[in-house]
Amino acid sequence: MQNSLDVIIVGGGAAGFFTAIQIAEHQPNKSILILERGKEVLTKVKISGGGRCNVTHAEFIPQELVKNYPRGERELLGPFHQFMTGDTIEWFENQGVGLKIEEDGRMFPVSDSSQTIIDCFLQRVEDLGIEVRTLESVKDFFKKENLWNVTTKSATYQAEKLVIATGSNPKIWNHLQALKHHIASPVPSLFTFNTKDERVQGLAGISTYASVKVLGEKLESEGPLLITHWGFSGPGILKLSAWGAQKLFEKDYQFQLEINWLGYASAEATLEKLLKVKKQNPKQQIATYAQLKLPKRLWQQLVAASIPKNRMWAEVSTQELKNLCAELTQGVYHIQGKSPFKEEFVTAGGVELKEINFKTMESKLQENLFFAGEVTNIDAITGGFNFQNAWTSAFIAARAIS
């Protein structure tokens, strides 16, 4: 059974759907087929942002937006000048889907439901006459007489243009390697850090702004740090995990993490502040009232780690206060392993970026082969940036095709 089409898109996720829609909006007469191996489409859209779908991020300057991509920063600058956050917002609003900005810059549908985004895509695909086939796992794709042949377990399809939008799919990467493409080995990105350190036992749920760095590496980050039952999470940690994806993988996720619980305050400046507190409250127990805007229980455990119990401010020596300052600004925690961040598995790795023309998202090695989304070696920190890469790369590929 042969099925001839203009465009075949492998992958029924955000990038695949947006590519198909963008092509059809520009060239309604093109025959387009989306092949999805799963039973359902847009599954990652459904769970993203805790089921709310973090569509994009309110950053409107290309030069600033690219700084959120540990892999792809240089390559995405040109594409972001073509299609960016503002274009994403406008496109969704034209479909009747309003987006809102949260305090941290993340953008969600006003409905707070990822189903709104899924319904929008499904409706648009139907209106444009784009065919979607689920449970169609691609077994192989190859070029024959200038046409791409795509075989699934039930059929063989042919098309002039082929778009790969399968995200992190090792089987698809293997087929691309057979077509001479190089694949950067996949490693996890966006994960939390595990530690059994007594200083943070029983503090799950406490969050504070901190700066963190991996000792022995040029890896540092800052942002809200959340203490969990198994260790550390929150934006500051997730950012560090994305930038350090390759290095931390090589360390087998065993490393020393230095935490400054006061952001970037120095030990010297902190000592000055604590000496003032000592002068003003000599008869108070040090652990009773939290200082330096730290959460009370965190303050108490850090004090307990460096100063004898029930000590009054009047009784504490300068050396003991120096020890406390070191604990507050340079505490070292042994990290043993990682945990995935929620259900949002993000992988660093994919098609090597030097083999892609970022003006068209076309392969430099195979004519009429295009890429969209995470199948390439591009990934971002958390906050809607991975989706923005999906929309932008899909738009660029679609424009080249149509």
Q: What stretches of 52-146 adopt beta strand conformation (E)? A: 56-57, 99-101, 106-109, 131-133, 138-144
Q: Are 190 and 381 in contact (CB under 8 A)?
A: yes
Mean pLDDT of the chain: 96
**Percent of the chain residues past pLDDT 90, beyond the cut:** 96
Determine the average pLDDT of the residues in 130-153: 96
Q: Six-digit token pair at 226? A: 């959340």
How many Cα neighbours within 13 Å face the side chain of 373?
27
Determine the Cα–Cα distance for residues 72 and 389; give it in Å rounded to an integer. Answer: 9
Residue 108 has pLDDT above 60, yes or no: yes
Determine the average pLDDT of the residues in 301-329: 96
**pLDDT digit string (tens) for 62-96?**
999 999 999 999 999 999 999 999 999 999 999 99
Q: Six-digit token pair at 51? A: 């089921």
Determine the Cα–Cα distance for residues 130 and 133; give it in Å rounded to an integer. Answer: 10
Confidence of residue 266 (pLDDT cuts 50, 70, 90): very high
**pLDDT digit string (tens) for 192-241?**
999 999 999 999 999 999 999 999 999 999 999 999 999 999 999 999 99
106, 183, 212 from 63: Cα distances, Å: 18, 27, 25
**pLDDT digit string (tens) for 380-402?**
998 999 999 999 999 999 999 99
**SS3 per residue for 201-223:** CCCCCCEEEEEEEECCCCEEEEE
What is the value of pTM for the model shown?
Answer: 0.91
Determine the Cα–Cα distance for residues 344 and 370; give it in Å rounded to an integer. Answer: 25
